[in-house]
Amino acid sequence: MSVPVTVLCGELGAGKTTLLSGLLESPDADTERDIAVLVNDVGAVNVDADLVEARTDLATGEEVVALENGCICCSLGGELSRAVIQLWKEHEFDHLVVEASGVGEPEPIARQFVRGPAGGPYDLEAVVTVVDARRFHDRFADVDLAADEVPAIQGEGEDSGGDGTRPLADLVLEQVEFCDLLVVNKCDLVDDAERERVVALLEALQPRADVLTTEYGAIDPAALLGVERFDLEAASEAAGWKRAIEADEYGDGATAGDDHGHDQEDGIDDHLEHDDDHEDGHGHGHGHDHTHDHTHPPERYGIAVDAYHRRRPFHPERFAALLTDLPDGLVRAKGLCWIAGREDQAITMSYAGTETSLEVTGRWIASFAEKRQETYRQGQPDLEWDEEWGDRETRLAVIGRDLECSALEARLDDCLLTDAEMDEDWHDYDNRAPTAMGETTVIDTDSL
Ligand SMILES: Nc1nc2c(ncn2[C@@H]2O[C@H](COP(=O)(O)OP(=O)(O)OP(=O)(O)O)[C@@H](O)[C@H]2O)c(=O)[nH]1
């Protein structure tokens, strides 16, 4: 029988270790269940492992393994799989919890347990993301805060900015967008209205997950362990922004089919079947038998979800200027962009909090030689194709609070090339967009 696994994610300091320690010490914990813990921390000194280990001794023995070589997702190729397989061979336990580092992406970790060698002995049960209610509120949900007062999140200084690495806020939202269960921790540090705003926003960002609120990670072990939730396909498609784009593209209730358009050269984005039960831009699809009935988040707290689709390129200078001056209420924007002067590159734009990253994540099919284009198009018969520009297009989703979507759409439209500009040489423009596969440019809001 495979051993169930829970992956625990969340930004630095959100309370993952506190939750885990509570879980292992809980007097209500199922005494029959031996829990092994794999802790991954960034940096050489593995404080978390020591802490959890000290506490784990009380409850479960010594089944703690620390991956000390930095980030799980960077050492995924082998170390994670090797460590968990070794753990499985050398110890007997009933459940494995992997505490991902605060800067780890959950998806590659999850994939190790579904498609990697660890998928044999293990069965991924749930991906749980812990959110710091106070920080999340101040960063994403505060209606009064001016953008220039937004507090930095821990570690942001090192991890974002002009050096081309990913904004940490982006990662925080990605952890929210790829999980089955959201634990909103540190609720003692927010008032009721703030807590509700955080929950409503989380439901818009991630319509699929259950949301629990806690203080000091005190949740019923039964709510965390032993609940079979994980479904890789559903989790991969669960993000609110993806659902908004799909609903726009395929219409309500349509089946999205599989990866539409654009060759993803890195192979990571090998989109799986989409849920076909989303109802609208903030759909509530459920990938498997697990159901719940949130009220629609956009109807509460002024949260809006919108999709933007155009088949004309952005002017790189006007678009960059817009990205430095996005509306205060915008929380999340993500999707593919067509930027004039980058005719080969399918560029993913991702805005979270205060920064926007532009990353080359693939190529437009229209940029390949004709034969190859044909092959791709045969594989994607539903792909919309323009006689002149092929599959090049912009498809973005925006999620925000008190956001005037039509005003933002109009501003985005102003960034599109005019008819006269369509005939200019686009390479004359000043263009900050990246060119090489995987290359990222980060643009700060309010950086003008
Ligand atoms: N006020 C308050 N503090 C909390 C709560 N939960 C955890 N903390 C504190 O927040 C700090 C960070 O908690 P950790 O559990 O270490 O967070 P973590 O997510 O494991 O952090 P990293 O390992 O750095 O990613 C600690 O000082 C905890 O005591 C809570 O609900 N309320």
Domain boundaries, the chain: 3-230, 241-444
Quick one: CATH architecture of 241-444? 2-Layer Sandwich (3.30)
Confidence at 364, pLDDT banded by 50, 70, 90: very high
- What is the rounded distance in angstroms from the CA atom of residue 243 to the CA atom of residue 237? 7
- What is the rounded distance in angstroms from the CA atom of residue 10 to the CA atom of residue 43? 17
Q: Is any atom of ligand 1 closer than 6 Å to the C-beta of 325?
A: no
What is the Å distance from ligand 1's center to 19 Cα? 8
- Most confidently predicted of 60-64, 87-91, 412-416: 412-416
Q: Find out whether 101 and 40 touch, Cβ atoms under 8 Å.
A: yes
Q: What share of the chain is helix, strand, coil (3-state, %, to 5)?
A: 35, 20, 45
Confidence at 256, pLDDT banded by 50, 70, 90: very low
pLDDT averaged over every residue in the chain: 74
Question: Is residue 19 classed exposed, middle or buried when 0-12, 13-18 and 19+ CB atoms within 10 A define those classes?
Answer: buried
What is the Å distance from ligand 1's center to 31 Cα? 26
Nearest to 3 by CA among 80, 92, 99, 75: 92
> Beta strands 95-99 and 3-10: pairing type?
parallel
State the CB neighbour count (10 A cutoff) for residue 28: 9
C-alpha separations of 140 from 5, 146, 169, 276, 382 in Å: 30, 11, 9, 29, 36
- What is the rounded distance in angstroms from the CA atom of residue 393 to the CA atom of residue 416? 11
Q: Reply yes or no on whether the pLDDT at 266 is more than 70.
A: no
C-alpha separations of 183 from 8, 118, 133, 213, 427 in Å: 10, 26, 9, 6, 47
Look at 115 and 310; give whichever has higher pLDDT.
310
Q: Is any atom of ligand 1 closer than 6 Å to the C-beta of 213?
A: no
Contacts made by residues 25-33, CB under 8 angstroms, sequence distance 24+: 25/55, 25/58, 25/59, 26/221, 28/220, 28/221, 29/59, 29/221, 30/221, 30/222, 30/225, 30/226, 32/94, 33/94, 33/95, 33/225, 33/226
Reported pTM: 0.69
Query: What's 313's DSSP letter?
Result: P
Q: Ligand 1: which of 18, 50, 135, 219 to mutate, most ligand atoms within 8 Å of CB?
A: 18
What is the Å distance from ligand 1's center to 118 Cα? 29
Judge whether 3-230 and 241-444 match in fold.
no
What is the Å distance from ligand 1's center to 363 Cα? 41
Weakest-pLDDT range from 99-113, 357-371, 409-423: 99-113
What is the Å distance from ligand 1's center to 132 Cα? 8
Q: Reply yes or no on whether the pLDDT at 126 is more than 50.
A: yes
Q: Reply yes or no on whether the pLDDT at 7 is more than 50.
A: yes
Tokens of 312: 């004309």
Name which residue sits closest to atom 21 of ligand 1, judged by CA.
Answer: 13
Tokens of 37: 């813990």
Give the model's pLDDT for residue 92: 81
- What is the rounded distance in angstroms from the CA atom of residue 226 to the CA atom of residue 68? 28
Give the model's pLDDT for residue 103: 60
* One-letter amino acid of 159: D
- What is the rounded distance in angstroms from the CA atom of residue 49 to the CA atom of residue 285? 37
- What is the rounded distance in angstroms from the CA atom of residue 10 to the CA atom of residue 102? 6
Give the model's pLDDT for residue 393: 93
Q: Is any atom of ligand 1 closer than 6 Å to the C-beta of 132?
A: no
Q: Reply yes or no on whether the pLDDT at 67 is more than 70.
A: no
Give the model's pLDDT for residue 137: 92
Nearest to 97 by CA among 1, 19, 209, 12: 19
What is the Å distance from ligand 1's center to 86 Cα? 29
- What is the rounded distance in angstroms from the CA atom of residue 324 to the CA atom of residue 446? 5
What 3-state class would DSSP assign to 272?
coil
Q: Is any atom of ligand 1 closer than 6 Å to the C-beta of 48?
A: yes
Q: Is any atom of ligand 1 closer than 6 Å to the C-beta of 186?
A: yes
Confidence at 293, pLDDT banded by 50, 70, 90: very low
Atom of ligand 1 nearest to the CA of 99: 20
What is the Å distance from ligand 1's center to 15 Cα? 4
Of all residues in the chain, what percent carry a pLDDT higher than 90? 30
Q: Reply yes or no on whether the pLDDT at 146 is more than 60.
A: no
Look at 79 and 231; give whichever has higher pLDDT.
231
Q: Reply yes or no on whether the pLDDT at 15 is more than 70.
A: yes
Confidence at 291, pLDDT banded by 50, 70, 90: very low
- What is the rounded distance in angstroms from the CA atom of residue 260 to the CA atom of residue 402? 31
What is the Å distance from ligand 1's center to 184 Cα? 12
Nearest to 283 by CA among 352, 336, 173, 206: 206
CATH topology of domain 3-230: Rossmann fold (3.40.50)
Q: Ligand 1: which of 9, 17, 46, 128 to mutate, most ligand atoms within 8 Å of CB?
A: 17
Q: Reply yes or no on whether the pLDDT at 358 is more than 90.
A: yes
